[in-house]
Amino acid sequence: MKEKAYKKEIFVTIVFIILYMLMGHTAAIFVLFPGLQVGTMWGFPTHYIIPVLTGWFGMIIVSIAAALVCNKLDDEIEAANKADEAASGKGGE
């Protein structure tokens, strides 16, 4: 069970790394697709305001989600470690 929790932790870490990269590098989308640079949002050019917003608020949302998910995973790993200690006879010593 402990190995499953560690594999899940690695998977979650990779997913959040990808999400952080997407949130932090949205300006590259406007470089790759120059046709998206047309238009405004709240009076700002879209290729300026969207990377700023995803960089600030996107990172905050991803960070909160990562903290919640990782705390649950830590609890799972701690419970698995306690179960392993109890099974091996070292639980109360």
From first to last of the 93 residues of the chain, give the pLDDT tens digit: 667 878 888 999 999 999 999 888 888 888 888 888 888 888 888 888 888 888 889 899 999 999 999 999 888 888 888 887 887 776 555
Residue 12: the pLDDT is 92
Residue 26: the pLDDT is 86
Residue 1: the pLDDT is 63
Task: With residue 82 as reference, give the H or E element that holds it.
Answer: helix 59-88
pTM here is 0.74
Residue 13: the pLDDT is 92
- The answer to whether the CB of 55 falls within 8 A of the CB of 26 is yes
- Gyration radius of the chain over CA positions: 21
Residue 69: the pLDDT is 93
Backbone angles phi, psi at 40, to 5 degrees: -135, 160
Q: 10: burial class by Cβ within 10 Å (0-12, 13-18, 19+)?
A: exposed
Residue 62: the pLDDT is 93
Give residue for tokens 């990782």.
Answer: 70
